[in-house]
Chain A
């Protein structure tokens, strides 16, 4: 169960992700975005931050980073690919997830705990959770408003009280196969009650369980 945690210039949540994965029994390794070989990793996480300064559009430049060819390969092979916050935006820009993320409905940066409901347990993020389970973890984004004109996205988590205008109140979206997931709030920041919530553990555990040793 060894995950690659990709670091782009401007990524800032990589250590939180590594901490969450290892605290729950997994192995995780930071990987620079210019890496061209992720052989031997059983899954990959694109953490939050501001990859390449979010210039042009969030994720627009990051999708061309050399590592993305390997992320695409792993997605195709059915390995778990998880994008959190900015990572979600990068997965949408790269076409690995449907839709795109635009500015929050009220044009405010939202930084607070939000309550989510699990609406699909067939994804690498929600596989350890129960249908209808409520999860409280922090949201920390400006472009968190997911739009999907094609309507092909599979919603895994919904906001109980939609904070940002996201289509279908989506907080996490998956591919049809369920192995590529983007989540806007931060499960990795909710793995310890000491820091406000341990609700994110079940999501991180879902990701860990979905990694089959290569």
Chain B
């Protein structure tokens, strides 16, 4: 089963990379860009038949290692 994990940095944690890219976009004249956040997408292929079971297991993986609970939130989408 194909699973997409999106790991996003919490809004209150600074994202210097996003800020730098935003500045570059403004320099290019794209002044309509109000904010830029650069996050991480992880694609997994997981053995399993039951999507909700796969969902639960990948969420556990996120809590264990894929995301850092101090900094980040995550969403898990089972694509099939």
- With a CB–CB cut-off of 8 A, which chain B residues contact A92? 70
Check A57 for interface membership: any CB of B closer than 8 A.
Answer: yes
Contact A56 B16 (CB under 8 A): no
Which B residues between 15 and 41 are near A, CB-CB below 8 angstroms?
16-17, 20
What is the bound-complex CA distance between A101 and B12, given in angstroms?
14
Residues of B within 8 A of A (CB): 10, 12-14, 16-17, 20, 65-66, 68, 70-71
Contact A106 B16 (CB under 8 A): yes
Check A100 for interface membership: any CB of B closer than 8 A.
Answer: yes
The 5 closest A-B pairs by CB, nearest first: A100-B70, A100-B71, A107-B16, A103-B16, A100-B68
Contact A147 B68 (CB under 8 A): no
Contact A56 B20 (CB under 8 A): no
From A99, A102, A150, B14 is in contact (CB under 8 Å) with A102
Contact B17 A57 (CB under 8 A): no
What is the bound-complex CA distance between A180 and B42, given in angstroms?
33
Contact A105 B16 (CB under 8 A): yes
Which A residues between 20 and 68 are near B, CB-CB below 8 angstroms?
56-57, 60-61, 64
